[in-house]
Amino acid sequence: MIEAVAGPLEGAPRQVRRHWSNDFKAQAVAETVQPGASVSAVARRLGVDPSQLFTWRRIARQKAMSLPSKAEKGQQAAQAFPSSAVDIIIGDAVIRTGAEIDEAHLARVIRAVRSA
């Protein structure tokens, strides 16, 4: 005879789903990437299953790969705002120029703005 049980068996330990904060997960993952750290040892110390900690590490790696690095952010900013760009403010007028402008032409523009 087979008996189907819809709920937990009487006397069986009750499993409660644990929820970890993002800060806790980040701290746990950070501890595992320290030189000489063991994922299993960190998991034991924190009371987490090692497979859970490996999952958090995988997710953190995937998120890190999808974010632009600091170097890439710097390159994007440099492209958006070239370092050779110059703003010249004369009264209410702003002359924006780059390194490619001819000096004689820029001098004529400045004189024209000042005389206006």
Q: pLDDT (tens digit, 9 = 90+) per residue, 33-61?
A: 888 889 999 999 999 999 999 999 898 88
Distance of CA 26 to the CA centre of its chain: 13
Count of CA atoms in the C-beta half-sphere (13 A) of 18: 10
Q: 97 with 106: CB under 8 angstroms?
A: yes
Among 34, 39, 35, 37, smallest CA distance to 55 is for 39
More confident residue, 3 or 89: 89
Its pTM stands at: 0.46
Q: Tell whether the torsion through CA atoms of 102, 108, 111 and 115 is positive or negative.
A: negative
